[in-house]
Structure 1
Amino acid sequence: MRPPEELDSVDRASLRHGLRADASNVPRIIRALYGDDGRSAHERVSPLWVLTRWNEVYSATLAAIPFLAHAAAHVPLVRAELIHRLANIADGRGPECAGRRPAAGAGGDAVPGGSGRGTRQGACPGPARHGAAVHPGRSP
């Protein structure tokens, strides 16, 4: 686990996620998990979708895991939602799959060097067979 004070020590310019060319917005999103501004847990956690857009896991996702684990351990308000997100990342699935069955034939095969097409367009893959799915070209 890594505390939010260490967020700036990660080279975000070299990391990618599903929305931007770089992951420069990720520290702001993670810091907001710790805020005391009256927002609900869902409102705090929802911006994390950029880390698992199209049900894929990116290099910025992998770099964020120690910070998300720290927030889950230290911020009771967001704990349940973060644990759920971390479990989906471990399965190689984004939060869009919550409560949905895997798509027919989906086996979580979007792994480094793969086509990257198995988890797109709303399909919910089954558990990844080779660890967390990483979008090709966006590995850590």
Structure 2
Amino acid sequence: MSSAETPEISTALVEQLISEQFPQWADLPIRPVEFGGWDNRTFHLGDDMSVRLPSAAHYALQVEKEQHWLPRLAPHLPLRIPVPLAIGRPGMGLSVALVRLSLAPGRDRDPCAHRRSRQFCDDAR
């Protein structure tokens, strides 16, 4: 899918997707994360959730893998990772992007700020 065929992933688009697919969360505030990624466009949903939409068709393939593996890996990891809550379906002009909701800190955080996380980041370098 070319960028010309893909609508801009904006706060307004996420609001429409949430209202349409997850009306129970439609009243929660939505705002983009400060430091987004390359594979996904990520938005805060309220204080405890995030919405992630793949930025391209080939990134959408990760959705099922994450839905399967994150809940299985989370109890065995030293750091808190998002846990999938729901998976959406394509909509609003996004033919391949799926809405993914997960528990996440309510504000942007430096993953290396916490002592345990700093050790993880140092080890990963």
Q: Normalising TM by the smaller chain, what interval?
A: under 0.3
The answer to which structure has the higher strand fraction is: 2
The answer to which structure has the higher helix fraction is: 1
TM-score (norm 1): 0.23
TM-score (norm 2): 0.25
